[in-house]
Each structure stands twice: as structure tokens, then as C-alpha cells.
Structure 1
Amino acid sequence: MRTNRNWLWAGLLPVMLLIGCGGSKEEEEEKKKEESVSTLGAVGALKEMANQAEELSKKGPVATVDFRSLKELLPADADGLARKEATGEKNGAAGFTISTATGKYSNDDGSETIELSLIDGGGSAMMMGLAAWSMIEVDKETENGYEKTTTMNGNKAYEKYDNANKDGEIAVLVNKRFIVSAKGRGVSMDKIKAALEDIDLDKLADLK
């Protein structure tokens, strides 16, 4: 159980970062006003993560799918950007195993890039750490961009975008097991979302 708790605390770190990001003086003042609410939100997130970790531990370990099966779901292009590289690997530590497939896409001069990733943790408690954002609600907007938790095709999702640098990301938790993410630079959020939608999430959810 100690291992599970370590993963939970590791997962809570990005939760705190999500809640506490920003840089201007106005944002700092706003953060102070919301500090107590943020703390309560973090505590609630930790409790929810602990509950789900306990539920998952009762089900016992589930073998992760072969990363080659994940690679097959990577599209040949990401909303028009050609795939330049596709990699996959399977790693394990402390009794947990993760299968990952990653595709890198770009235009000819590299000014527009998108990276698609599919991760399978076998529905283990560790996934609650990797997808800590799925336990909270975030909705923030600044002059430079925004970040929020939302849903995509019925799945919990997290998205963040910087208007000035034209980079952002969106991540989706599928079947409480798979994490699918799309990160883009020099592209719009619409293009990042469209690239992620090129992945068949229903087919991914059916993998065993």
C-alpha cells in the first residue's frame, strides 16, 4: 500500500501545479485569495485518488497490452501533418508495468509539430497518479491562454493552451486505463484536438 501512496503523492504534484500556475502579480494575488479553495480541492483529489487506487487494487493486476498494438493506433498523419517517427516501449518498476507508443508529426520545415502518445498502465493505481487531473476540476483563463478539465467523447480530459507561443496539449483518460495525449507547437488548439481525434478511442478502449 506504501507503493500506491507514493504514486498518489507523485500524482498530486501535477494537481498542485495545475491549481497554482501563473506568473503575474495579479495572478499571484488571485492565487492567495483562492489558496484555501485550492487546498481543499487538492485534499479532495487525494481522497478520490486513494479511493480509486483501493478499488483498482482489489481487482488485481491486469497485464498491459503489447506496445505494438498501441503503435498500430497511431495515425499515418496528424490532421495533415506527416508522421516522421513512431516508437514504442514497455517498462516496469515496483510491480507496475507501462506500455507506451509515441508518434511525432510535423510539416516540412518543422514549424508545426504534434506529438501523440498512448499509455497503458493496465488500470493500476499508478494510472491515478499519471492522470491526476482526472480527479479534479480546473477552469482557468489568462491573457495568454487557458487550462481546464473537460470531457471528450464521454471521457475525462484536460487541456491547456498558450496563445502567445501557439503551443498546447490535450490528454484523455479512456476506460480508466489508457491515457491518450496530443501536444502541439506552432499549431492551434483545434488542430491539436483534431490530431487526437484521428486516434480511434473506441478501438483503444477494447484492447486487452
Structure 2
Amino acid sequence: MKINRHWLWAGLLPVMLVVGCGGSKEKEEEEKKDDESVSAIGAVGALKEMASKAEELQKNGPVETVDFRKLKELLPADADGLPRKEATGEKNGAAGMVISTANGKYSNDDGSESIELSIVDGGGSAMMIGLAAWSMVEIDKETDNGYEKTSTMGDNKSYEKYDNASKDGEINVLVNKRFIVSAKGHGVSMDKLKSVLEDLDLDKVGALK
């Protein structure tokens, strides 16, 4: 079965950006070659898994996406104490692939703390390969300023990134292989972002039809 090359490369690009390791200029040439070899192996492995996922999706076919109004109903009135300022939703599609999205924006009065919560339903289409490429790789990086890693939230694969200095962060969760729920924040802790997703009830999101 042939794989749709357009979606395959669309999914591969973020994977290569994630798994690629450039190394510092101060490293020895031999170490750089080793790093490049590891990156190449990781990229090839990710590509193979993506190709397998794409073939599986083409075989089973996507399902109809949930009406974005149902997704909007799941957006909480406040995000761990931050009141909701705006809630929007929409449905977009191309080439027979449709995505439903609901977004909620939350902040305190002076805007020093803000969170954007989104729920995306791709109906299990090949488009999800690109949107959740992080779900097919393992990431674990840490610096003096923050970290980036893949993990799990309950039974769901997750990706999180946080900057300690700016208190900017995000956490994305792939639910039931079709929904991507994410919380992006400014001026808030990662614990607060996780608390928002826990209050959202990911099991309820995954049960939507």
C-alpha cells in the first residue's frame, strides 16, 4: 500500500527537528560524527514508525471528527483559578481530511499569568502524524534554564517543555490516538499546566464521538 508522501514529509519534518542534535562548536569532530550518527538512526527509526502509522491509518480510514461545539463545551470556565477570557472553535479540512478545534484563553487581570487551552480532533487521519510527531519519539533534555521531554499522562503519551526563567511552558497529550489536548502558559508553573489538563478530564475527551 502506498503512503501519501505529502503527509509523510509533513510529519517527518517536526520529528527531524526534535531528534536532530547539532552539538556545540567546541566538541571534537569525532564526537560530532557520533552525534550525527545517533540522530540519523533516530530519524530513520521515526520515519519507519511514521510510515507504519500512515499505512495503518490509510487501511482503517479516518472517522468523522467531533463537532467543535462539543469540544468547546469541555473547555472549563477557569484554568486553575485563571478566568476564561475567550472561547473559540472551528472546523477546517482539505483533501478529505478534517480537523475540529476548540481554544480557550485564560489570564489574570494584569496578564502576568496566562494559559491557552486547546482540544484538537483529527479523526485519526494521517494529518495527526505531523501534529503529534513527538508521540513517536523519546525526548529527554535538560539545561540550566529548563527542560524538554516526552512522558505519559495516565495512559496517554505526552510532550512537555518548560523555561524556568520566563516561566513559559507547554504540555501536549495525545488522547485515544486522535485528540491532541494542549495547555500553553506564560508566567505559570508546569504543575499548574498539568492541573488544568487533569481538571479537563482526558478520559471524557477520549470518549467523544
TM-score with structure 1 setting the length: 0.92
* Paired amino acid for 2:6: N
> Within 2, Cα distance between the matches of 1:101 and 1:182?
12
1:161 corresponds in structure 2 to 162
Structure 2 spans left out of the alignment, 5+ residues: none
What's the offset of the Cα at 1:195? 1.3
1:83-139, Cα deviation, whole Å (9 max, x unpaired): 100000000012110000000000110000100010001011111111000010011
1:56 corresponds in structure 2 to 57
Structure whose alpha-carbon radius of gyration is higher: 2
- SS at 2:200 equivalent: coil
- SS at 2:159 equivalent: strand
1:122 corresponds in structure 2 to 123
2:184 corresponds in structure 1 to 183
* Paired amino acid for 1:11: G
Aligned-residue sequence identity (percent) comes to 80
> Within 2, Cα distance between the matches of 1:205 and 1:180?
10
Number of matched pairs: 208
> Within 1, Cα distance between the matches of 2:177 and 2:113?
31
* Paired amino acid for 2:186: R
- SS at 1:158 equivalent: strand
1:6 corresponds in structure 2 to 6
> Within 1, Cα distance between the matches of 2:140 and 2:126?
26
> Within 1, Cα distance between the matches of 2:161 and 2:120?
19
1:202 corresponds in structure 2 to 203
TM-align CA RMSD: 2.2
8 Å contact from structure 1 (residues 3, 94) kept in 2? no
What's the offset of the Cα at 1:82? 0.6
> Within 1, Cα distance between the matches of 2:15 and 2:139?
9
> Within 2, Cα distance between the matches of 1:51 and 1:183?
30
Structure 1 spans left out of the alignment, 5+ residues: none
> Within 1, Cα distance between the matches of 2:187 and 2:25?
28
2:71 corresponds in structure 1 to 70
> Within 2, Cα distance between the matches of 1:3 and 1:107?
46
* Paired amino acid for 1:4: N
> Within 2, Cα distance between the matches of 1:96 and 1:201?
24
8 Å contact from structure 1 (residues 22, 28) kept in 2? no
1:193 corresponds in structure 2 to 194
Indicate yes or no: 2:98 matched with 1:100.
Answer: no
2:17 corresponds in structure 1 to 17
8 Å contact from structure 1 (residues 65, 120) kept in 2? yes
Cα 1:22–1:41 change in 2 (3 A) is closer
> Within 2, Cα distance between the matches of 1:109 and 1:32?
49
> Within 1, Cα distance between the matches of 2:27 and 2:123?
39
* Paired amino acid for 1:7: W
